[in-house]
Structures are given as structure tokens and as C-alpha cells.
Amino acid sequence: MREEISDMSEDDETGERARWAPDLSKNRSDDSDSGPGPPIGDSPPPFSDQILENVLENVLEFLTSRRDRNSASAVCRSWYRAEAQTRRELFIGNCYAVAPHRAVERFQSIKSVVLKGKPRFADFNLVPFGWGAHFEPWVKSFGAAYRHLERICLKRMSVTDKDLTIIAESFPLFKDLTLICCEGFSTFGLAVIAERCRHLRVLDLIEDYLEDEDDEVVDWISRFPETTTSLESLVFDCVSCPFNFDALERLVARSPSLQRLRVNHHVALEQLRRLMARAPQLTHLGTGTFRSGAGFGEVDPNLDLVSAFGASRSLVCLSGFREIEPEFLPAIYPICANLTSLNFSFANLTAEELNPVIRRCHNLQTFWVLDSVGDEGLQAVAETCRDLRELRVFPLDPSEDSDSSVSDIGLQFISEGCRKLRSILYFCQRMTNAAVVAMSKNCPDLVVFRLCIMGRHLPDRITGEPMDAGFRAIVMNCKKLTRLSVSGLLTDKAFEYIGCYGKLIRTLSVAFAGDSDGGLRYVLEGCTRLQKLEIRDSPFGDASLISGLPFYYNMRFLWMSSCNLSMRGCKEVARNKPNLVVEVIRDGVEEEEEEEIEAVEKLYLYRSLAGARTDAPAFVKIL
Amino acid sequence: MEGKSSYGGNMEYLKATELKLAPPGSDTQEATSGVSTRPKKRAITGPNEQHTKSKVQVVGWPPVRPQRMNSFRARRNETVDESGGMYVKVSMDGAPYLRNIDLKILHGYKELRTILEGMFKCSSLGGAEGYDEEGHAITYEDKDGDLMLVGDVPWEMFVSSCQRLRIMKGSEARGLS
């Protein structure tokens, strides 16, 4: 059963076994698929050892944790071989950390692949188009080696229709394609997958960008086989072009195992009702829009909708709700008590409109919402959703000058009501240290704390002080914290606290913060579990970069943009660390330029066994 | 490291620590760094329009994915736009006069169709996909001057890109869908 967290896909790594999360255990090096071990290709073992290896293989079949597998492979040659034979899932956190052929040579019986590409700041237009993370070399290697591959899960990769065709042609048992924040493919590729992957169970397209020309859209929904399908999950809300609704309705009708369906915004309520009637067994539903289509005769859509939701006893997760017409919301009242997950983050609702819904959602564990509901709306959430584990509050108007209706007051309410909170993402314009401190004390189970005060360098709105004290409380009191995003006016002191107390932090995101090199040094030296560090627009220079040299091999990557770095510092890092790839990315560069600019605008460095990549575009310089 | 002591509205200090996007050492005005441009037109993200330009917009801040940018417009009761309404011209093939319609006060496609039906005294102006029995289709001209069928994009996006509306015979509009 898939975790809710990975279904609603922003980069979230909470939970013990959430699919994208590294395991929360003690070792420093976590997710390198090639852990230490003897080189491949040594001579076969003596006969008695072979028997032992066979026994060992049978045992290792049961070992699923990536961390444990890496440890097992390091015991001795025999264990290394046995582990390589029995590994079924290949996880590669950075597609450039290892070459495809090497992965394929070591692990020969893979059934499931998880592969991640671009750094997360690519989501916010900080990585120029064409940077890389091409799936092509991987799919070609897998196609040749893994006949039994069943599942491919990609995040922030560049995937073409040709790659999708190779998938469809190479893997006769293929069952599960999940693409998150990918780009480069179109409905043509989807049609190939639909048509040729006869055992497809999961087709999840989550926040991808499809390259469809308006007149070249393919009717991919019609390409699924006409027989009963084994589809369990079909998610395509990010596919923005219109589709063949009648074909979808027929597809749903002949997919008895379908549990998760998320449609795009070309579906109005009347059509939704028809889909729900075809699939009363759904557990997860993405409604597309939540408005009435025009001109559907005299049938009252509200009445049918009410009975449709009333009949859907298994629904536990609702999302969609774009272009919401709130007068239709009462239709979902019957199922609110069953909901564990509700995504209103595209629904422009006021507190009054939210109230009657949320007051019925006693069992909600995951809630995404827009700040249009205001502090008052969050108060209702706090009073009702006592079991809430994850909250995300997005801005209706995502700009620095916007007038957000949520503030420290809403955060305070949530901290008092939702004591079991594990993960929070909170966009706002006004915040106080007191509210953040309160949350740190009331919600000790916090694993993910991401606060985004949208105005840059904003201090505590009441005291005028930096937000250092708030974040200090978070790292001190939330002893399970592994992911932190900071914002607001922050001095080096904040980073001193993070380095001192944030011993479990694996992912840290910094923007417009700090005073000097000291800030970054504190973090690099203090956060011993740090894996992913992304920094923008902060005054950290070469000295702080160089101070991190002892630690970069233990991290997956470091991103620094619009800081105070220069080529001198970056070159020194590259010189000292042969297994580190140091990329300097420049904007707006078409061809190789002779003249080298000393200031480094964007730095991306990562450990790698593959050396400098050969597919880097002209605007990427690898030192 | 010594913490700075002069907070509480000391603009001088804030200015000194404020990061500029120009190369270090230069004192020029803040400028947006190169935005990654896509080769093809995207339906989802339009140009980022600001009502009040107090600061030059920084790339990628706040950190919100493109699907969320420009996804919404202010609700009717909270409209703060100074222009006071968003009037677009509506023409219908065969009708002698143009009309004006304020998109700001409408909430969605259903309301738009109702209003247009009333204006042009047609019995019905199309179902969900823009057509009806009499073969009229509602189309609009977007920011790029392209003729588009009404209903394909989320309402808020339509409102921000629609320049004028045109009700045409269905036969002429077939090529758009």
C-alpha cells in the first residue's frame, strides 16, 4: 500500500518507509547504491562456499532496507556477491553519481528502479533548461539487462517519448510507471505505454510537464487495451491537455482493481459523477475541477453528486478541487469522517467555506490548503483534526509583496491542536519567534519543519528581532527533525544553533539568510548527518566552501546559488576531492566562452563514482 | 561570531546585508537573473504580472512550483485591482453590434455562458466542450493573438489571458478543438 506522502508529490521525506525517503537510521552514508565492497569480476568461490552463498542468498531475499543491504554487501566478498544477486530494488539518489553500466553489472536481478535527477531548486527555475538528468542512457542499459523489470520511478528526470517507447518494448512484465516532476515527454509517449504495457497497474504522472503542441495531442486514454485491465492507479492531473472522456469512462468501467484516480481540470462535476458511478471502490480520488459544466440539461448536478459521494464508502483521499464552486461542497459531507487525506491546495476557499467541511474531518492525517482560509480557517483545523500528521499551507498569491491571510496566529493554533504533527510546510508573511517556539514545544514529533516567510529578511513581526530564537527552539526541542527549511531574518547565530542541535538533519534549505562564512561553517561541521544542502542568496564565500571539504563525500549534494563564491574557491574544492563533481552553472551562455568570469553564480557539487559527466551543456562547466 | 545589535528597522544595516543579484562588488540595481526559457509556449504558466512593483521579482522566490504560480485570481469580494473590472469585447457572427462583458465579476464558465446567452438571446450556447445543437461555439483571442476554444484552461488562467470573445458558427470553430 503506497504512502499518501509520495502520492502528493512535493519533495517530502517523512515517514519510515515513504518511497522517496532515505531510511532514518544511524549510518552516515545512506543511499549510495554502490556501498563499499570488493570489485566485481573476481574468480568464483570454492564449492563449499557456493553452498553457503546459496543459503545466504535465500536469507538476503528478505532484506529490503537499502541501508541494511549496503552494510551486508560490505561484510566480505561472498556477502557482496550474494547481496548483489538478491537485490530487487535499485535506488539511485543522484543519476550522475554512478554510471548506468556499472549499476547494471553489479545488480543483475533488479525488478524495481528509483532514480532521481535534477537538484530540487530546478523546480523553481534556478536550473537552466537542458541541464541534464537524461533518462535515455539508463533506460537503454536497463532494457538490455533487466528483462524482469516491473517498476520505474523517476523524479526530476528528462524523459522523452523515445525513452517511454523503450520501456514499453523492453519489459514484458512492466507494471508500474511513476514520473514525478519530469519533463520531455508528451501524450504520444503515454499512448505507447498505455497500448503496449499489458500488465500495467500503476501510471502515476505527478507534477510533470508535458511537451504537447496544441494540435498534436494524442488520444492516449483510448489506447489502453479493450479487455479488462489490471489498473490500480491512474493519476494524470498534470496532463493539461483535453482528453477523451468517454474513453476514460469506459476504461474505468473495465478496470475493477482501480483504487486511485486523479483526473485533470477538463472534468466537471457531471462527468465526475459518472466516473464515480463506474468505480465505487475508489480509495483515492482527484476531482479535477469542482464546478458544474455548462448546459447539461435540467438534471440537478448537486443531487446526483450527493448520492455519488454517499455511495463511495471507501474514499479516504480527496484532491483536485480546482475552480471550485463552493456551493457543491456539501456533497462531500457524507465521506468527510472517512477521509485521512484532503488536498484543498488549489481551492480558493474562505474560512467560512472551509469550516463545515473541516469540522467533519475528524480523522484527517494529511491536509493541504491555501492561505485564503486564513488564521481562522486554521483554527478550525486545529480544533477538529487532532490526528493531523502533515499540514501544508500554500500561498494564494505566491509573491513577496502579497498579503497572506495566515500568520503566527494560525501557526500557534495548529501547534496547540495538532500535537501529533510530523510534517509542516507553511507559507506566510508575518511570523513571530513565539509561535515557532510554541510549535517546537507542542509538536515534539516533528520530522519536517519548513517555514517560508515570503518577504525576504523579515524579522519577528512583534519584537523586530531576527528569527534565530524560533529556529533554535525547533532544532533543540524537535529531536526527530530530519528536514528543515529556514526563512526570515536570520543571523549566523541561527546556523550555530542548527549545527549544534540539528544532529539528525539530512536536508537543509537556506535562502536569504546568514551574515558571513561562519554561518555555513557551523552547519557543515555540526550537522553530521547532512545529506542535501541547498543554499541561495546568502553571504557565504570560498572560505566556508573550503571548510566543508572533509564532509562532502558524506553528502549527496551541495547547491549554492547567488552566494559569494568564486572560481578560485570552487577549483580548490575540485582539486582536493577527485570523487566530487564540481559544476559551475552559468545563465544565458550559448557557446563556450573563452573569458572566464571569476564570480560563481551557481554551484552544484556531488559525490560520484562516474567522474565528470559527458552530457553537460555549454553553460555547465565541470571543474 | 558577534551578532549584530542594531535591528528594529535599521534600514542601513538591512541594505548592507541585502543580497543583490549582480556580481559581487558592483553597486548596480537589483536585476533578475536569466530566467530559464522553454522553447514552447506553456499553457500553465503565463507571464508573472504584478499589480504593485515595489520590488523587482527574484527568480524562484517564493519557492512555489510553476503549477501554483498564477493559478488563482482574487475572489470577487476581494478584488483590489485598480483598473476596476476586466472588460472584454464580445462579438457574435451575424450580430450587428459588439457587447462588453466584465470577466472579473464572473466565477466560472457556467456563468459566462449564461450571461452570453442572455446577451445574444440564444437558446443555448454550448455544452461543456463549447458546442450546442445550433452549432455555435464560444472562442476567445488570447494574449498571443491566437484564437482559442473557451473552456480548455482553468478559469483563472482564461481570465488573465482573454483579450476578446467571439461567438462563431460551430463549423468555423471545428479546427480549434
Query: DSSP string of B103-140?
Result: GGG--SHHHHHHHHHHHHT-S----TTS--TT-EEEEE
Residue A188 has pLDDT above 70, yes or no: yes
Res A45: pLDDT: 63
d(CA A24, CA A483): 11
A476-504 burial: b if 16+ Cβ within 10 Å, else e: bbbeebbbbbbbbbbbbbbbbbbbebbeb
Contacts of B84 (CB under 8 A, 6+ apart): none
Per residue in A66-121, pLDDT (tens digit) is 888 888 888 888 888 888 888 899 999 999 999 999 999 999 899 999 999 999 99
Question: Is A348-540 assigned to CATH 1.10.760.10?
Answer: no
Q: Are A451 and A485 in contact (CB under 8 A)?
A: yes
Measured between CB atoms, does A599 come within 8 Å of chain B?
yes
d(CA A492, CA A522): 8
d(CA A504, CA A361): 33
**A463 CA to chain B: closest CA distance, Å?**
8
Question: Shortest CA distance to A345 belongs to which of A412, A425, A410?
Answer: A425
Q: E-strand spans in A5-104?
A: 89-92
Res A149: pLDDT: 96
Residue A222 has pLDDT above 50, yes or no: yes
Question: Shortest CA distance to A421 belongs to which of A380, A484, A364, A359?
Answer: A364
A153 half-sphere exposure, CB direction, 13 A CA radius:
17
* Mean predicted confidence (pLDDT) in A571-590: 88
Q: Where are the domains of chain A?
A: 32-86, 348-540
Report chain A's terminal Cα–Cα distance, integer Å.
Answer: 44
**B170 CA to chain A: closest CA distance, Å?**
16
Strand B147-149 relative to strand B136-141: parallel, antiparallel, unpaired?
antiparallel
In residues, how long is chain A?
623
Same fold, A32-86 and A348-540: no
Specify the 3-state DSSP secondary structure of A125.
Answer: coil
For each of chain B's 177 residues, which pLDDT tens digit applies? 443 444 444 455 555 555 655 555 444 333 333 334 344 433 333 343 333 444 566 888 999 998 887 666 444 333 334 445 677 888 888 777 778 888 877 877 878 888 888 777 654 444 444 444 456 788 888 888 888 888 888 888 888 888 888 888 767 666 665
Would the CB atoms of A599 and B8 count as touching at under 8 Å? Answer: no
- Cα torsion A175, A178, A184, A188 to 10°: value is 40
- CB-nearest to A295 from B35, B48, B113 is B113
Using CB atoms within 10 A of its CB, is residue A578 exposed (0-12), middle (13-18) or buried (19+)?
Answer: exposed
Per residue in A319-353, pLDDT (tens digit) is 999 989 898 999 999 999 999 999 999 999 999 99
Query: What are the chain B neighbours of A398 within 8 Å (beta carbons)?
Result: 62, 64, 68-69
Res B122: pLDDT: 55
Over its C-alpha atoms, chain A yields an Rg (Å, rounded) of 25
d(CA A108, CA A232): 28
- Cα A51 to Cα A43, A56, A57, A619: the distances in Å are 16, 9, 10, 54
* Mean predicted confidence (pLDDT) in A357-364: 97
- Per DSSP, what are the bridge partners of residue A134? A158
Query: What are the chain A neighbours of B158 within 8 Å (beta carbons)?
Result: none
**A563 CA to chain B: closest CA distance, Å?**
8
Residue to substitute from B17, B138, B160, interface A, most A β-carbons within 10 A: B17
Query: What are the chain B neighbours of A270 within 8 Å (beta carbons)?
Result: 128
- CB-nearest to A396 from B42, B72, B127 is B72
Over its C-alpha atoms, chain B yields an Rg (Å, rounded) of 23
Res A196: pLDDT: 96
Res B30: pLDDT: 36
Res A226: pLDDT: 94
B163 vs A386: which has the higher pLDDT: A386
* Mean predicted confidence (pLDDT) in A257-283: 94
- Cα A609 to Cα A33, A51, A95, A391, A553: the distances in Å are 11, 32, 11, 38, 11
In which band, very low, low, confident or very high, does the pLDDT at A590 lie, cut at 50, 70 and 90?
A: low
Of A78-87, A148-157, A240-249, A377-386, the range with the lowest mean pLDDT is A78-87
A183 phi and psi angles, rounded to 5 deg: -150, 165
d(CA A115, CA A137): 12
Q: Is the peptide bond before B62 cis (omega within 30 degrees of 0)?
A: yes
Using CB atoms within 10 A of its CB, is residue A299 exposed (0-12), middle (13-18) or buried (19+)?
Answer: exposed
Residue to substitute from B11, B41, B51, B65, interface A, most A β-carbons within 10 A: B65
Would the CB atoms of A493 and B1 count as touching at under 8 Å? Answer: yes
CATH number among 1.20.1280.50, 2.40.110.20, 1.10.490.10, 1.10.10.60, domain A32-86: 1.20.1280.50
A178 vs B26: which has the higher pLDDT: A178
Specify the 3-state DSSP secondary structure of A442.
Answer: helix
B145 vs A464: which has the higher pLDDT: A464
Query: DSSP string of B45-103?
Result: ------SS-SSPPPTT-S---GGGTT-----GGG---TT-S-EEEEEETT-SS-EEEEG
DSSP state of A337: T
Residue A417 has pLDDT above 90, yes or no: yes
d(CA A377, CA B153): 29
Residue A552 has pLDDT above 80, yes or no: yes
Measured between CB atoms, does A185 come within 8 Å of chain B?
no
Using CB atoms within 10 A of its CB, is residue A375 exposed (0-12), middle (13-18) or buried (19+)?
Answer: buried
- CB-nearest to B7 from A240, A325, A466 is A466
